[in-house]
Amino acid sequence: MLVVAALTSGQKIGLACVGGLFIVFALVCSFVLPRRNPDFPGRHVGWFAVVCIAFVVAMLSAVLVFGKEKEEPAGAAETTPAQVTTTTATTGSTPTVTTTSDQGGNVKGDPAAGKAVFTSAGCSGCHTLAAAHATGTVGPNLDTLKPAYDRIENQVEHGGGGMPPFEGQLSNKQIDNVSAFVFTSTHS
């Protein structure tokens, strides 16, 4: 279900059109044509087989074309930062961590609270992350990818590459927290 949520509207429409045509063809061949011609497909079985094969090829091609993910820009998989400086300030009862990194700007949010968001939002079902005891294999292994903070925050907000956007489902604070958790877990 998450894979369908990650598709663009154009991709969903394309898959729905090809799938709808395939279903209409199957229903017509199953109910309408045999009622009109009880000997269906009869002597036209060769043409019927060609049309069936064409529909199967069209459906498989549609899945390959419309389900294709966008290419990552060069340099998207970044290396481990050379310098990470972390400061913690307590405001009220919740600590806010601000981390300055040479790969991702200012990290804002509470990594401890982010671990709970990572689990409750279903991230562990798709991603591998040792700090969360997550072993998902659908999305990238975050321990080896070690994404920059800005990249994590953008991916959580807007989705892409098979991942759904969480901008409307999580608050800004939750996005900051889960981004801080992933960043600090993979860059420590």
Task: Identify the residue whose tokens are 């050379």.
Answer: 82
The answer to which of 14-18, 75-79, 97-101 has the lowest mean pLDDT is 75-79
Spell out the residues 6+ positions from residue 32 whose beta carbon is closer than 8 angstroms to its own. none
Residue 111 near residue 177, CB atoms below 8 Å: yes
Three-state helix/strand/coil letters over 37-53: CCCCCHHHHHHHHHHHH
What is the CATH superfamily name and number for domain 84-186?
Cytochrome c-like domain (1.10.760.10)
3-state secondary structure of 34: helix
Q: What is the mean pLDDT of residues 116-130?
A: 91
Q: Is the pLDDT of residue 9 over 80?
A: no
Q: Residue 10 pLDDT > 90, yes or no?
A: no
Strand partners, 163: 160
Q: Which amino acid is at 159?
A: G
Q: What is the pLDDT of residues 31-80, one digit of tens each?
A: 998 899 889 888 889 999 999 999 899 888 888 887 766 655 554 444 44
The pLDDT of residue 132 is above 60? yes
Beta bridge partners of residue 87, listed in sequence order: 98
Rounded Cα distance, 47 and 40, in Å: 12
